[in-house]
Each structure stands twice: as structure tokens, then as C-alpha cells.
Amino acid sequence: MSSDIPKVNPDALPPGTVVGGCWRLLERLGAGGYGAVYKVETTYDPGRYFALKLSREPYEPRSRRELTLLMDKAVHPHVVAVHACGRWPDVVSGHFFFVMDWVPGPALHLWADLHNPSFQQFADAARRLSLILDALHVAGVQHRDLKPEHILMRGPHGDPVLIDLGSGDYAGAPTLTTGPLPPGTLHLRSPEAVRYHQRHWRRPEARYVATTSDDLYALGVCLYRAATGHYPFSPEWPTDVLYAAIASQQPPAPSAVNPRVPTALDAVILRLLEKAPDRRFETGAQLHEALGLALREHPHEAWEAPLFEWHEAVPAEATSAHARRTRRPLWPTHTHRPPSLARAKLLRLWDELVGLVRPPPKPVPHASPGKALLEGKARRVYPRRRRALVAAAGLATVAGLTMLGARASGAWGNTTVQVGFEATTAVGQKMAGPAEALQTAPAAAPPPAEPTP
């Protein structure tokens, strides 16, 4: 193998770099957990744009997993398509890349913030999303990292397209996860995934198997964010507080944050966010049907209203259509605050104690929600195990209180794999995460990091 092969940094390639012989880089769209994404054009047909994803490591198994999903398992008109793949700069030992559709549209939350669609348009987009997920789930595919940045809204009316299946999985795929939870984003984890992690993070053999219910819960978080301008549980909270809130705290109804939300839509989003998976919709098809019923339940006028009020433009801006900004509602901090850090640690301690006497369930890959071994009914004490729990509680409490005192001065260990990303553009395959739209009025600050008990 030649020593003349240049070393490259996939995260910082300059514009004009030609990858794979014909793909000219125009700009970096962003960086994910396993690679960087660039807007490219072909050298022989300039002006025809694509997105190129270049893996950070030469042998990144999740990049090959994503390619398998996009080329075979998850082929769908509303999932980005792959058009080419290869290795670069060396065809044998270089970084793996693949080229896919470039979607020139904003992410779901930015579409809501910037374009301020009507609730009818919002509900229509949600119905399409539900059918996209349903088709993937029927094919045995789980997205596992569904978030607003991974839902791009194509065209003037907001036609959703799913991107970034780097954390995805499919039936029969080999296990790549090395920790209890698969890669994902903390504030979009389902309650049952959070409880599994809190109970079994010390067990090296424990592996949580994501199901359709995890994707549907994450979709509920995405819809909540788009309809209200806020996440149900702030990603700015400390990890222990965030996990405690996801596992045990009810979020305010969307209409309590944004009074413009129709009550029927309220009920659908809240059902997606139920703590127990058996109380959510079982399939995307059920969600699609529920949204259709909600549309028929309210008068037409309620659905024609825009998501948010328009911010009054100053006279100098009134001539520009792009100067209009939405006024996103404030978070109701006086009624909905995060759990205290002390309570969060006690809840985690309790879950660890339960995990000592309840081993993790044996993985059943991609079982239907009705048959999956979930941790949704986490706190139920089964009669056969009641005596064991009571007997273990005495010894475990002593050890647990000692552990709690030792950790009281610092944060608890977090072993969850987090998919990080960075964005440099407002449209394309990777969208801004923490940053909000520039053309929206400031939202309320999240509740304080030092919450009240």
C-alpha cells in the first residue's frame, strides 16, 4: 500500500475538493456522530446538487449500516435516496462515503418557526410522517434517532423527508451497540429506554432493543416542539434531571404552552408522549387515523389558523416579506418546573435498586409493541418477586445510601451513547440543533438548571 496516500480530515475539507473522482465539495452542511456531510455537485454537470456523507473513520460500521438501510431496507419516496458510494482518497483504505439526495428545505422545527404554517398544514405533515414511519416499521426498520433536525420539509407546502439513519437498525442486523442503549439524543429518549438505562447501566451484557414505540414517542417530541416552540423536557437540563423528568413527569399540554393548538391535536400529541408504551399508538397507521379524526373534530377555522402569532414588524422592515417573525409563546415556568436534582438522584437510586433484583429482559429484536419486552411498566412489583424485593431492599438501601452520599458532591456517571452533531447551514442534510431560527422572536429561557423541589 503506497505511503503517498494523503491523510485527510473529513470534518474540515475545503470547498473545491474533489472526492471520488467527480464529486466537487461546495460547502459543509454539518457533522454527525460518525461523519461529516457536504453539499456537492458533479464535475461534469455543475449545478446539480447532492449531499455527500464522509465517515470520520476509514472503517466505520455504522456508515455501512446506514448505506444498507438507504439502499435496501428503508427505500421510500420520503427517505433520502443513495446514488453512489466509494472510498476516498484511497479506494481500498480510504474513508467510506456515499452520495444521496440533497434536500433544500428546513428542518421541521425551523419550518414551523420561519414559515408559520397553518395547523391544517402541520397536521397534514404529521399524517405523512406517521405513514413514513409505519412503512419503515413494517419493513423491520427503526430510525432510533428521530428528531426535528432529521425531518426536512421539502417544497413550499412542507413535504417531509427523513434523513440520517446512522443510528438506525433493521431486523436481523448484527449488534453494534457497546452500551446499554443504542446511539441517540438524550431529550428524545423514551421513558422505557431511560428506565432501562437507569436500571441496567452497570451490566456490561445489557442491551436495550428499540421498538416502534420509541420512534413514535420521539415523533411526539418533534411535533410538540414544532407546535409550541419548546421541547417537553429541555435539553439544557442536567442529565439526571432530564432523565427523571422523562421517566416520571407529565409535560404540560401543548395548548397550555401555545393556546392556539386545537384540543384534538393536543390529545394526539399527549398520547404519543405517554409514559407507558402500551398507552401510546401502536403503529404509525393508528396515529394517521387519529390525526384524521382530529381534523374532522374541530371547525375548519381552527385548523386554518397559523401556529404562532406574527411579530409586529417595525416600519423599516414592513416592506420585506422576510422581515416577518413569529412570536413563539413563553414556557409556563410558574406551573411546570423540572424535578429537583435531589429527587432526580433518588429516582435513579430506586431504579438501580430495582435493577439489582430484576435482571434485564432477554432481547427480542423488533417485536411488535404488543409483544415487546419493554420497561414501560417499570415500577410494578410482581407477586413472585415481592419477597425478593423486600429482602433485597434492606441490604440494598444501606449500599444505596452510601453510594448516594459518595456521589452527592458530583454528577452521576452517564454511560449513554450520545449522537452529537454540528451544523453550518440553515438547509440541507444536517440542521442546527441548539441554535434556533434567526428570524424568530426570542423564546422564553428554559426553566432554571437549579429547579425547585
Task: Please give the annotated binding residues, written as ranges.
Answer: 53
For cell 410558574, name the residue.
334
The answer to whether 144 touches 167, Cβ cutoff 8 Å, is yes
Cell triple for 378: 417499570
C-alpha closest to that of 136 among 100, 169, 174, 103: 169
- Amino acid making up residue 74: A
C-alpha closest to that of 100 among 115, 81, 124, 125: 81
Using CB atoms within 10 Å of the CB of residue 194, give its burial: 0 to 12 exposed, 13 to 18 middle, 19+ buried. buried
Residue 198, CA distances (Å) to 144, 340, 386 in order:
19, 17, 20
Reduce the secondary structure of 231-244 to three states and give it as a string: CCCCCCCCHHHHHH
Which pairs from 36-42 meet CB under 8 Å and 24+ separation?
36/10, 36/11, 37/428, 37/429, 37/430, 38/13, 39/102, 39/425, 39/428, 40/99
Q: At what angle do helices 284-297 and 212-228 cross, to 10 degrees?
A: 30
Question: What one-character DSSP code corresponds to residue 21?
Answer: T
CA distance 86 to 82: 12
C-alpha closest to that of 243 among 193, 276, 194, 209: 194
CA distance 302 to 308: 13
φ, ψ (nearest 5 deg) of residue 87: -125, 150
Question: What one-character DSSP code corresponds to residue 175?
Answer: P
Q: Write out the binding residues for ATP.
A: 53
Strand partners, 161: 152
Task: Give the N- to C-terminal CA distance of the chain in Å, as an integer.
Answer: 62
Question: What one-character DSSP code corresponds to residue 184?
Answer: B
Cell triple for 124: 397534514
Cell triple for 397: 438501601
For cell 441548539, name the residue.
434
